Amino acid sequence: MDPLTIIHDYHDLCTGRLAEDSWAQLQAQVRVRRLTFGGRPLCTVLRPYFITPEGYGHVRREAGLVAGALARAFDIMMAESRLRAQMDLTAEEDYLLRLDPGFPSPDGLSRLDAFFNPARAQLRFIEYNAESPGGLGFGDALAEVFLDLPIMRLFRRRYDVQALPVSTRVLDALLMTWQAWGGQGIPRIAIVDWRDVPTYNEFLLFQESFGRAGVPAVIADPAELELRHGRLWAAGAPVDLVYRRVVTSELIARGGLNHPLIRAVAERAACVVNSFRMKLLFKKSIMAVLSDEANRDWFTLEQQAAIARCIPWTRRLREGYTTYRGRRIDLLPFALTARERLVLKPNDDYGGRGVIIGWETEASAWEQAVMAALSTSTVVQERVDAPGEDYPTFEDGRIDISKRLLDLNPYLYGGGLVEGCGVRLGTGAMLNVSAGSGSAVPMFIVSPLV
């Protein structure tokens, strides 16, 4: 079925008292269930993202092929330091790569950030958040809130609506890694990140979810961790398994390589997921590794085809020659003159920080940014236009249905299983809740009732 028909049928219900009551309930539940990001409501629209079973199947297949290519790239670069040089790792990061996490890598939990055009069955992955992906804990709660809205209950008289649970997959992946590490029994989990991060409410949701499954969990700031007699301690007791949400670069900057969390890996004092080795895939230059024809022979023919379909042209910004669409180019002059179709991204950052969008930047400012970026670790990536859909929201006491741009971000577990997606909306090219103007919505698989 055409997704637009499904959307139109939902929007036909967005009128009068039904819409008003649904909006009021949504806002109340966002507050009660702490669905906020840095104090802002996480969801500011009255419709979830709808995807057909066929569309979701396509997303899973393409994401699975790209995940396989990423795993292959990881293995090759881990085996050859010369090839790892493509990633611009720091000396500290290279040291962490050599720490054996005690289980196979790539591992744990990750997210592919993508734009999906269902009309063209076109999926384009622009980044791989392999180190500490956020948002997984919010999706289940948002789905539960939407399924209970009056408008959704009426909509479900005509359509089958399926949510994909994420929190249980997260716990399964953590426990699977714990067992691969050699752990036995039920571990005590520490969710580790700084106390002041805007995702703290997500940690509370995970703590509650893990607890309902019979797995005890505490939330701990990295500064509160201690190593005692071969065990890692948090919140006054030993912990066995760390769900690491703190970003490696920030941990090194604030705690150094002698931090208890890093020492816990080196001394096998705790199982830490994701491992620090995932930094190798978190760098934005991983998309340059995939899209560079010089690395084509690393991958199977099926993976090569998926890369050609799904990965935009990306290169580390530097002086010298490379290829673009099959022809040899001088990269720096190309980057300076092709502003309307390029984006600059710091190689090692997140939340949209430092991203410069060429087509939204004046020519002189773009030239300055490109030249300044030569002295940093930066990638340049070809433009991928975000698809848009209409979403209803309340403005001045009335329903307003207007276009939002969106991205669709498949979640990966254990390096290969693809299930569930995060969805972010925005009115500009920076579709990132961390950037301050975005909104998140749950994804539902929708099909007509027979």
Tokens of 440: 């998140």
CA 381 to chain centre: 18
Per-residue model confidence (pLDDT) at position 430 = 58
CA distance to 86, 152, 358, per residue, from 369 (Å): 22, 47, 10
As to burial, measured by CB atoms within 10 angstroms (0-12 exposed, 13-18 middle, 19+ buried), residue 229 is exposed
pLDDT interval class at 106 (50, 70, 90): confident
Tokens of 264: 């816990």
Residue 424's contacts (CB-CB under 8 Å, 6 or more residues apart) are 406, 407, 409, 431, 432, 433, 438, 439, 440
Residues in the chain: 450
Element (H, E) at 206: helix 200-212
Q: What is the pLDDT of residues 292-317, one digit of tens each?
A: 999 999 999 999 999 999 999 999 99
| Nearest residue to 2 via CA among 326, 450, 447, 376 | 447
Q: What is the pLDDT of residues 208-250, one digit of tens each?
A: 999 999 999 999 999 999 999 999 999 999 999 999 999 999 9
How far is the C-alpha of 93 from the C-alpha of 279, rounded, in Å? 7
pLDDT interval class at 432 (50, 70, 90): low
Q: Percentage of residues in the chain with pLDDT exceeding 70?
A: 98
With 60 as the cut, is the pLDDT of residue 434 above it? no
Tokens 């001045």 appear where? 396
- Burial letters for 351-369: b for 16+ Cβ neighbours within 10 Å, e otherwise? ebebbbbbeebeeeebeeb
Q: What is the pLDDT of residues 138-176, one digit of tens each?
A: 999 999 999 999 999 999 999 999 999 899 999 999 999
pLDDT interval class at 107 (50, 70, 90): confident
Residue ranges and CATH numbers for the domains of the chain are 3-282+387-448 (3.40.50.1760), 313-382 (3.30.1490)
Are the beta carbons of 199 and 245 closer than 8 angstroms? yes
Instruction: Compute the mean pLDDT over every residue in the chain, rounded to the nearest whole number.
Output: 94
With 50 as the cut, is the pLDDT of residue 435 above it? no
Q: What is the pLDDT of residues 355-374, one digit of tens each?
A: 999 999 999 999 999 999 99
Tokens 């209970």 appear where? 148
Q: Output the pTM of the full model.
A: 0.94
